[in-house]
Amino acid sequence: MEKQLHNLLINKNPDLEEIMKMCLDHQPFLNELVDNLTEKKETIRYNSVKILTRIAEERPEKIYPFWNVLKEQLYSINIYHILTAIILISRVIVADKDNNFNYIEDDYFNMINHKNVIPARYLILNIWRIGKARPEFISKIKDILFSLDRSHHKHIGLLKGDAILAFIELWDLMSEKDKAEVKSFVRKLTDSESPKTRKEARKFLEKYGG
């Protein structure tokens, strides 16, 4: 089947908003975007991911029917596919009426231990969305982020700075016990080797108290 969006997506700076509207109104276009997740032309794949991410944020129910495709991306050996799965699953989970996430939660969260630091960082930057959609995972998310002390990755200080941002997003949903543990975690980061993390730790403690 001819790809009707090809000429639009091949551009380096397409009108993503307009293409998104087109795909929301026309199922074959949306199907094409999802098919493009394995597209070899990186510009097309990248633009398709950006549009799908926007749709997943605004209309997650539109992307949820493609859950199995997203799951396949998570188990790919291709780093870009894994990153796509991390991003889209974290946004589509709010529409996960069948609790499909429960079947992949361990593999999804285990991206914190991926041999490549990039999936680990993407997980940390997106993990709060899982907690907001499914608060029952918040304590588990806290423990996952605390596990960075045992990580094999370099630049752990930078990753912990990302963890602070995740805790901020989840703060209002956390128990008092979890909040106390997070504060203890963040206090130790005021001496982090990462200037960015030191800054985030100070801002956090100024806002939430040390």
- Which residues in the chain land under pLDDT 70? 1-2, 210
Q: Categorise residue 209: left if φ over 0, alpha if ψ from -120 to 50, beta otherwise.
A: left
SS3 sequence of the chain? CCCCCHHHHCCCCCCHHHHHHHHHHCHHHHHHHHHHHHCCCHHHHHHHHHHHHHHHHHCHHHHHHHHHHHHHHHCCCCHHHHHHHHHHHHHHHHHCCCCCHHHHHHHHHHHHHCCCHHHHHHHHHHHHHHHHHCHHHHHHHHHHHHHHHHCCCCCHHHHHHHHHHHHHHHHHHCCHHHHHHHHHHHHHHHHCCCHHHHHHHHHHHHHHCC
pLDDT for the residue numbered 2: 56
Q: How far apart are CA 130 and CA 105, in angstroms?
A: 10
Question: Model confidence over 184-202: pLDDT tens digits?
Answer: 999 999 999 999 999 999 9
Q: What are the tokens at 203?
A: 């801002």
Give how far Cα 155 sits from Cα of 66, 106, 148, 195, Å: 35, 24, 10, 12
Amino acid (one-letter) located at 122: Y
For residue 1, the model assigns a pLDDT of 45
Query: How many angstroms from the chain centroid is the CA of residue 199?
Result: 23
Question: Considering the entire predicted model, what is its pTM?
Answer: 0.94
* Amino acid 171: pLDDT: 97
Instruction: Name the average pLDDT for the chain.
Output: 94
Q: What is the phi/psi pair of residue 115, to 5°?
A: -65, -25
